[in-house]
């Protein structure tokens, strides 16, 4: 189960850098109100940041930043400590960085009010709610005159700030800390490891590494269920065909050795790093449309995954959470990609897919999960593929047979217009069917658009997944319908309209009406059946003494009548055809003079 509001969900993202640059990760939490955050924290301290340094924590295999604060006031902590050391996930050690998106950042000399959680794993303190739990005091540390909280999510345009202009108000807020959660037993000064450890990775001796200290994998592999890799429509603009050949190759590379079955999915819009959908798919987005990656950095792309602790499975002795969404975003500057061969680009995709299926960075080449790209790619048209490190990793995370059938290429363009649109009516049930277009991208769905006049859409659009639509209970009438095909790249042009008649249909207008009076009181009138509409079952002769008048209405079975005894006068005559009780339009009117 994945629930957006639960804090057991997080993101781990790492980036492939151009040359020996840090890995990047990101995590996010929901924004909450000040009061909610204060009440849900275990403690609060106000004071000055006097030291900050990052170190590997060997027990967790990851990097933390240790922030030392000289305390002026505290709430919820035993003994009013004079100093605390807050242990923050993420940081930079040597040539490795673990950057947690939305994490509170500290500067030595800053005066702060921080709300604190107690880390269950080792009882050390950390800032509650990432950066949401940190206020910067603009007055002096012991007499706050104002404080500002700044919260930035992945969407950099979203900034939430509140100002507290009185120390009393700020203290009242801080006093809410510890009201629900106790800090009893907390380690007030997190022990700072002695020395930074060497190497690119926190797991010495491991040939491959996992995406984070909480391992995760696609459990779909256990049932041979495919995991679809969707691509942003159009693909990478700097590679022929959007680089979809390279993506398909990368997908096949990871699908070959184990039980994980990645398959090319559909083309659709950009996804970036949103966790707004729980679709159990992997998405590839091009050109950093969400502006996550600095153009000035050497980061080519970011890959990672959201995962959930709601479905934990132990495989080969390691307990893994379930990956619920994977994502890859490539950066936009053309200069980053210029000169890259398809082999280099394919290497990037293989590397980022590796992150999105649960792998972290490897410590040495030739592993494709090494954090910087190998210059050997310039001499290759395709990826170097998986090295021994990744093959060992696949055997550990995804044991079992691999080599799924080659997946179909994703649609790169909108579908063509459907063909063969037909309708049939039985009683009040209308059946409409059509054929998929033979041109354009594959359709993932259709829309039937209907109206009460040719080209009209006043009845609406009905989404259809197949190529047949059955609509029961349609009221009598004449309808006009057309079909468009859709996929992630867009919609086709509509088909021509099909006219659909439900219930008795009217005949057309009778033709070639003639009316003569060969002798006094005698008339002879004849006409031809309509050339359009339903077949008539009878007619009505309509006549009067002025144009358009309907003084006389005489039912007629056939297409003419003749007789005598007609009073003298001038008659304006027209004929209406009937289908049962349904009349059609009248014929043209003629004038008959009877003497
Ligand atoms: Zn990477």
- For 195-226, the pLDDT digits (tens) are 433 333 333 334 788 887 788 899 999 988 99
pLDDT confidence band for 408 (50 / 70 / 90): low
Alpha-carbon span 439 to 433, nearest angstrom: 18
| Ligand 1 center–CA 309 separation, angstroms | 23
Assess whether pLDDT exceeds 60 at residue 7: no
Q: How far apart are CA 521 and CA 539, in angstroms?
A: 23
**End-to-end alpha-carbon separation of the chain, Å?**
93
* pLDDT at position 511: 94
* pLDDT at residue number 10: 34
Q: In 3D, which of 492, 493, 487, 330 has the Cα closest to residue 411?
A: 487
In angstroms, rounded to a whole number, what is the distance separating the alpha carbons of residues 450 and 502? 14
pLDDT of the residue at 198: 32
Q: Calculate the dihedral angle through the C-alpha atoms of 273, 277, 278, 280, rounding to the nearest 10 degrees.
A: -60
CA distance 508 to 529: 8
DSSP SS3 for 493: coil
* HSE-up (13 A, CA, CB side) for residue 19: 2
Q: Which residue has the higher pLDDT, 133 or 278?
A: 133
pLDDT at 8: 24
Q: Looking at the domain 24-174, which fold is it?
A: OB fold (Dihydrolipoamide Acetyltransferase, E2P) (2.40.50)
Is the distance from CB of 329 to CB of 293 less than 8 angstroms? yes
Does residue 24 have a pLDDT over 70? no
| pLDDT tens figures, 97-152 | 555 555 678 888 888 889 998 887 788 999 887 777 888 887 554 445 566 665 43
For ligand 1, the distance from its centroid to the CA atom of residue 284, given in whole angstroms, is 15
Å from CA of 14 to ligand 1 middle: 5
Say how many Å lie between the CA of residue 369 and the centre of ligand 1.
6
Query: Per-residue confidence at 495, pLDDT binned at 50, 70, 90?
Result: very high
At residue 442, the pLDDT reads 83
> Is the Cβ–Cβ distance between 353 and 251 less than 8 Å?
yes
Please tell me which of 30-34, 191-195, 203-207, 232-236 the model is most confident about, judged by mean pLDDT. Answer: 232-236
CB-based contacts of 120, cutoff 8 Å, min separation 6? none
Evaluate if residue 23 carries a pLDDT over 70.
Answer: no
CA of 349 to the centre of ligand 1 (A): 10
Give the burial string for 216-238 (b: 16+ CB within 10 Å, else e).
bbbbbbeeeebbbbbbbbebbeb
Describe the crossing of helices 342-356 and 244-255 by its angle, rounded to 10 degrees: 50
Tell me what the mean pLDDT of segment 511-517 comes to.
94
DSSP 8-class letter at 3: -
The pLDDT of residue 274 is: 67
193 vs 75, more confident = 75
| DSSP label at residue 424 | E
Distance 303 CA to ligand 1 centre (A): 7
DSSP character at residue 568: S
> What local confidence, expressed as pLDDT, does residue 28 receive?
30
- State the CB neighbour count (10 A cutoff) for residue 503: 14
Judged against a pLDDT cut of 80, whether residue 45 lies above it is answered with yes
Classify domain 216-397 at the CATH class level: alpha beta
Looking at every residue in the chain, the average pLDDT score rounds to 80
The pLDDT assigned to 577 comes to 94
> Ligand 1 centroid vs 122 CA: distance in angstroms?
28
Mean pLDDT on 273-298: 80
Separation of CA 222 and ligand 1 centre (Å):
25
Predicted confidence (pLDDT) at residue 526 exceeds the cutoff of 90:
yes
Mean pLDDT of 482-500: 89
More confidently predicted of 516 and 165: 516
- Determine the Cα angle at 178 with ends 174 and 184, to 5°: 135
Best CA proximity match to 503, nearest among 464, 473, 458, 462: 473
Task: Read off the pLDDT band of 410 (50, 70, 90).
Answer: low
Return the C-alpha torsion angle 330, 331, 334, 335, nearest 10. Answer: -120
State residue 93's pLDDT score: 64
Q: By 3-state DSSP, what share of the chain in percent is helix, strand and coil, each rounded to 5?
A: 10, 40, 45
Cβ neighbours, 10 Å, residue 424: 11
**Angstrom distance (rounded) from CA 357 to CA 380:** 25
Give CA 93 to chain center in angstroms: 35
Round to whole Å and give the CA distance between 307 and 27. Answer: 11
The CATH code of the domain at 419-502 is 2.60.40.10
Mean pLDDT of 80-106: 74
Residue 362 C-alpha to ligand 1 middle, in angstroms? 9
User: What is the whole-number distance in angstroms between the Cα of residue 248 and the centre of ligand 1?
Assistant: 19
Res. 246 pLDDT band, cuts 50 70 90: very high
SS3 (DSSP) at 455: coil
Mean pLDDT of 3-21: 31
- What is the model's pLDDT at position 78? 87
* Model pLDDT, residue 98: 58
- From ligand 1's centre to the CA of 158, what distance in Å? 27
pLDDT band per the 50, 70, 90 thresholds, residue 62: low
What is the Cα–Cα distance from 350 to 522, expressed in whole angstroms?
A: 96
% the chain with pLDDT above 70: 81
CA of 355 to the centre of ligand 1 (A): 7
CA distance readout (Å), 562 to 250, 434, 515: 86, 50, 10
Q: Are 478 and 401 in contact (CB under 8 A)?
A: no
Q: Which stretch, 109-113, 259-263, 322-326, 499-503, has highest mean pLDDT?
A: 259-263
Q: Residue 293 pLDDT > 80, yes or no?
A: no
Please tell me the distance between residue 372's alpha carbon and the centre of ligand 1 in angstroms.
8
pLDDT in tens, 338-394: 878 899 999 999 999 999 999 888 877 788 988 777 888 888 899 999 998 899 899
pLDDT higher than 50, residue 233:
yes
* Contact between 218 and 227 (Cβ < 8 Å): yes
Find, among 8, 9, 15, 3, the residue nearest to 356 by Cα.
Answer: 15
Q: 511-594: same fold as 419-502?
A: yes
Q: What are the extents of the domains in the chain?
A: 24-174, 216-397, 419-502, 511-594
510 vs 505: which has the higher pLDDT: 510
pTM beyond 0.75, yes or no: no
Residues β-bridged to residue 502: 477
CA of 326 relative to ligand 1 center, distance in Å: 14
CA dist 146 and 229 (Å) reads: 49
Residue 571 confidence class, pLDDT cut points 50, 70, 90:
very high
B/e letters for 134-148, b = 16+ CB within 10 Å, e = fewer, are bbbbeeebeebeebe
Bigger pLDDT: 74 or 194? 74
pLDDT value of residue 504:
80
Can you give the pLDDT at residue 201?
Answer: 33
Ligand 1 center from residue 390 Cα (angstroms)? 13
- Cα(330) to ligand 1 centroid in Å equals 12
Strands 445-451 and 460-464: antiparallel
Q: How confident is the model at residue 277 (pLDDT cuts 50, 70, 90)?
A: low
Average pLDDT of span 31-48: 82
Beta-strand pair 227-232/262-268: parallel
Query: Measured in angstroms, how far is the CA atom of residue 557 from the centroid of ligand 1?
Result: 86
- Per mean pLDDT, which of 110-114, 165-169, 251-255 is the most reliable? 251-255
Listed ranges 121-130, 241-250, 324-333, 488-497; the one with the highest mean pLDDT: 241-250
Least confident span in 21-30, 496-505, 520-529? 21-30
* Ligand 1 centroid, distance to 389 Cα (angstroms): 14
Among 2.60.40.10, 3.40.50.970, 2.30.40.10, 3.40.50.920, what is the CATH number of 511-594? 2.60.40.10
The answer to whether residues 514 and 525 touch, using CB atoms and an 8 Å cutoff, is yes
The model's pLDDT over 420-445, given as tens digits with 9 standing for 90+, comes to 999 988 888 999 999 888 888 888 88
121 phi, psi to nearest 5 deg: -65, -40
Q: What is the Cα–Cα distance from 378 to 201, expressed in whole angstroms?
A: 26
- Give me ligand 1 centre to Cα 61, in Å: 17
For residue range 537-561, list pLDDT tens digits in order: 999 999 999 999 999 999 999 999 9
Expressed in angstroms and rounded, the spacing between residue 162 Cα and the centre of ligand 1 is: 37
Contact 273, 292 (CB under 8 A): yes
CA of 402 to the centre of ligand 1 (A): 24
Sheet hosting strand 560-563, strand order edge to edge: 511-519, 522-528, 560-563
Q: Which helix (H) or strand (E) holds 206?
A: none
């Amino acid at each position: 189960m994945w629930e957006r509001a639960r804090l057991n969900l997080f993101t781990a993202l790492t980036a492939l850098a151009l040359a020996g640059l840090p890995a990047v990760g990101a995590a996010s939490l929901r924004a909450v109100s000040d009061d909610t955050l204060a009440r849900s924290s275990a403690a609060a301290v106000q004071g000055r940041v006097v030291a900050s340094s990052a170190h590997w924590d060997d027990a967790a295999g990851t990097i933390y930043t240790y922030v030392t604060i000289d305390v002026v006031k505290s709430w919820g902590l035993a003994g009013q400590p004079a100093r605390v050391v807050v242990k923050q996930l993420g940081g930079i050690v040597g040539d490795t960085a673990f950057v947690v998106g939305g994490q509170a950042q500290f500067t030595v000399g800053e005066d702060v009010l921080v709300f604190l959680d107690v880390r269950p794993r080792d009882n050390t303190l950390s800032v509650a709610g990432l950066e949401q739990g940190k206020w910067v005091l603009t007055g002096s540390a012991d007499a706050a005159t104002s404080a500002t909280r700044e919260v930035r999510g992945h969407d950099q345009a979203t900034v939430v700030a509140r100002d507290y202009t009185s120390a009393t108000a700020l203290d009242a807020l801080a006093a809410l800390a510890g009201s629900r959660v106790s800090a009893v037993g907390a380690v007030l000064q997190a022990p700072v490891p002695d020395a930074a450890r060497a190497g690119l990775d926190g797991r010495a001796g491991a040939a491959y590494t996992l995406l984070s200290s909480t391992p995760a994998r696609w459990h779909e592999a256990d049932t041979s269920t495919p995991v679809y890799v969707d691509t942003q429509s159009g693909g990478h603009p700097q590679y022929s065909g959007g680089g979809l050949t390279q993506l398909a190759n990368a997908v096949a590379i990871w699908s070959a050795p184990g039980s994980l079955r990645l398959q090319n999915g559909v083309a659709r819009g950009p996804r970036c790093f949103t966790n707004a959908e729980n679709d159990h798919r992997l998405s590839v987005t091009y050109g950093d449309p969400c502006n996550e990656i600095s153009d000035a950095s050497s980061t080519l792309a970011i890959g990672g995954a959201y995962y959930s602790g709601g479905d934990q499975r132990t495989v080969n002795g390691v307990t893994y959470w379930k990956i619920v969404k994977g994502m890859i975003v490539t950066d936009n500057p053309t200069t980053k990609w210029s000169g890259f061969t398809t082999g280099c680009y394919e290497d990037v995709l293989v590397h980022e897919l590796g992150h999105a299926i649960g792998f972290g960075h490897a410590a040495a080449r030739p592993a494709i999960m090494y954090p910087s790209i190998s210059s050997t790619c310039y001499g290759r048209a395709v990826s170097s593929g998986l090295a021994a490190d990744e093959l060992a990793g696949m055997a550990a995370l995804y044991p079992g047979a691999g080599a799924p059938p080659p997946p179909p290429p994703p649609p790169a363009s909108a579908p063509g217009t459907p063909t063969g649109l037909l309708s049939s009516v039985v009683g009040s049930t209308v059946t409409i069917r059509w054929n998929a277009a033979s041109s354009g991208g594959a359709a993932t769905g259709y829309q039937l658009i209907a109206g009460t006049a040719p080209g009209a859409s006043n009845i609406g659009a009905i989404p259809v997944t197949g190529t047949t639509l059955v609509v029961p209970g349609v009221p009598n009438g004449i309808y006009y319908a057309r079909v468009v095909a859709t996929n992630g790249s867009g919609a086709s042009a509509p088909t021509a309209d099909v006219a659909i008649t439900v219930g008795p249909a009217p005949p057309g207008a009778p033709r070639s009406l003639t009316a003569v009076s060969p002798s006094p009181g005698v008339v002879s009138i004849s006409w031809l059946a309509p050339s359009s509409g339903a077949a008539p079952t009878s007619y009505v002769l309509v006549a009067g003494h002025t144009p358009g008048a309907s003084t006389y209405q005489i039912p007629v079975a056939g297409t003419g009548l003749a007789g005598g005894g007609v009073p003298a006068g001038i008659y304006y005559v027209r004929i209406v055809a009937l289908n049962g009780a349904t009349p059609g339009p009248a014929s043209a009117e003629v004038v008959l003079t009877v003497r």
